[in-house]
Chain A
């Protein structure tokens, strides 16, 4: 399964989100890779099952086949766990 973490540039915020999402996925026992990427590249992508991003960027990602999950607090593993489990399990 492919998951992408998206921020404006794909080098800062999305990388932190990827790290914490991978931690959560390991705990949940879900086999998935998380790639960090920019909004521009994400808009061209069609193969991600789930897009993780921040509430600010959700509008820019509408219309893609992926399910969009927005995370408010990037270091709150409980929030990430809750939202990812609701979607994946």
Chain B
């Protein structure tokens, strides 16, 4: 990254998003496709194996669309397992919103992928994620980004 940047406001997020973990303006055919893309980015950035992507899909098949935690935002993840190599986040913005089946918060425009090694060591990342996603201006900037680097600058 040769871009000049300010001191990070979200250092844990900046670290959690590995290289190749962000995809902008993707076209997803359905909910499963969108989750799969978030999983593939965790694999591409060296944070998990393809088995983890399978567990992300199983989780939503099992427990339903509760992963859509706010209007337009889904947090896709499986459980900590050997398929997780390192704590990580990935992010996909969707060119066309996708229906996940969550009445209150559909359709989804942003899918965040998460892999964690246990139940506690990613807490600092989640605290920053809660602050970031709780700020609608940040979320709008993220959704309007046309290039990965624009998103990185938000962290």
Question: Which parts of A60-89 form the interface with B (CB within 8 Å)?
Answer: 72-77
What is the interface size of chain A, counting residues whose CB is below 8 A from a CB of the partner?
25
Please tell me which one of the listed residues B59, B69, B79, B123 contacts residue A74 in the complex, with CB atoms under 8 A apart.
Answer: B69
Query: B67 contacts the other chain (Cβ, under 8 Å)?
Result: yes
B80's closest neighbor in chain A, by CB? A11
**Is there an interface contact between B69 and A19, defined as CB atoms closer than 8 Å?**
no
Is A9 a contact partner of B79 (Cβ separation < 8 A)?
yes
Give which listed residue, B70, B77, B80, B126, contacts A76 with CB less than 8 A.
Answer: B70
Counting chain B residues whose Cβ lies within 8 A of the other chain, the interface size class is 20 to 34
Interface string of B119-141 (1 = CB under 8 A from A): 10011001101100110000000
Chain B residues whose CB sits within 8 angstroms of the CB of A13 once the complex forms: 66-67, 69, 75
Is A7's CB within 8 Å of the partner chain B?
yes
Interface of B is mostly: mixed
User: In the complex, which of the residues A10, A17, A73, A77 has the most CB atoms of chain B within 10 Å of its own CB atom?
Assistant: A73
Known contacts A10-B119, A16-B126, A55-B104; is-contact A39 B70 (Cβ 8 Å): no
Interface string of A1-44 (1 = CB under 8 A from B): 00000011111110111011000000000000000100100000
Q: Is B11 an interface residue (CB 8 A)?
A: no
Give the distance in Å from the alpha carbon of A4 to the alpha carbon of B133 in the complex.
22
Give chain B nearest CB distance to A4 CB in angstroms.
Answer: 13
20 residue pairs from A and B, CB less than 8 Å apart: A7-B66, A8-B59, A8-B67, A9-B59, A11-B79, A13-B67, A13-B75, A16-B75, A16-B129, A16-B130, A16-B133, A20-B130, A56-B65, A56-B66, A57-B66, A72-B104, A73-B70, A73-B104, A75-B69, A75-B133
* Interface residues in chain A, defined as those with a beta carbon under 8 Å from any beta carbon in chain B: 7-13, 15-17, 19-20, 36, 39, 53-57, 72-77
